[in-house]
């Protein structure tokens, strides 16, 4: 009797494991399909080369990484695509749909927006850096003049003190 229950438990565990593998394989296949849909779009944008990666990670929860903070996964219902973005505070669901075409269209807009924002930030940083160089140079010159004046005044006062001490003044 105990042997039969043990065999039944093992069979049930094996069936559950096979079902988990089937779900994972289905998720991987769906994410691979999405990657294939997006690859020509991303490949046609040289601006995306160093930023958008479309990396398919095949672990226990398959994910299609779009960039360093955004990925697509299959929702727990097994039918819906879910775009998730990691922020400093939390993981935020940006978009969810059961249709491949809707997710593909949304991701195209999302990727384009991410690229535009990145270039804007990089250009802003370059402008800010150029301004900082000009400001730093102005600050450096002012500091140099102040140090020179302080040194000159110290020398004058030292000369006067020496003349007074020697009795020549």
- The answer as to whether 116 is a domain residue is yes
- The answer as to whether 165 is a domain residue is no
Confidence of residue 154 (pLDDT cuts 50, 70, 90): confident
Confidence of residue 101 (pLDDT cuts 50, 70, 90): very high
How many residues in the chain? 169
Residue 22 confidence (pLDDT) above 50: yes
Number of folded domains in the chain? 1
The pLDDT assigned to 137 comes to 55
Percent of the chain past pLDDT 90, that is, above it, reads: 43
Cα separation, 75 vs 31, in Å, equals 12
| Contact (CB, 8 A) for 141 and 133 | no
Distance set, CA 106 to CA 54, 94, 99, 112 (Å): 15, 10, 11, 10
- In sequence order, the 6+-apart residues with CB closer than 8 A to the CB of 9 are none
Full-model pTM: 0.63
Give the count of alpha carbons within 13 A of 23, CB side only. 16
- The answer as to whether 85 is a domain residue is yes
| Contact (CB, 8 A) for 72 and 34 | yes
What is the domain extent for residue 28? Answer: 2-129
- The answer as to whether 54 is a domain residue is yes
């Amino acid at each position: 009797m105990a042997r039969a229950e043990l065999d039944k438990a093992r069979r049930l565990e094996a069936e559950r494991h096979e079902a988990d593998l089937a779900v994972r394989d289905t998720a991987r296949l769906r994410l691979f399909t999405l990657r294939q849909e997006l690859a020509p779009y991303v490949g046609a944008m040289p601006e995306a080369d160093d930023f958008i990666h479309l990396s398919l990670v095949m672990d226990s929860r398959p994910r299609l990484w779009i960039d360093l903070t955004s990925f697509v996964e299959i929702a727990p219902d097994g039918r819906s695509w879910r775009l998730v973005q990691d922020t400093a505070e939390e993981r935020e669901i940006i978009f969810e749909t059961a249709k491949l075409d809707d997710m593909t269209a949304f991701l195209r807009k999302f990727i384009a927006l991410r690229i535009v924002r990145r270039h804007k930030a990089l250009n802003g940083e370059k402008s800010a850096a150029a301004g900082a160089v000009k400001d730093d140079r102005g600050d450096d010159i002012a500091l140099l003049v102040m140090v020179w004046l302080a040194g000159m005044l110290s020398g004058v006062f030292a000369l006067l003190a020496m003349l007074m001490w020697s009795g020549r003044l």
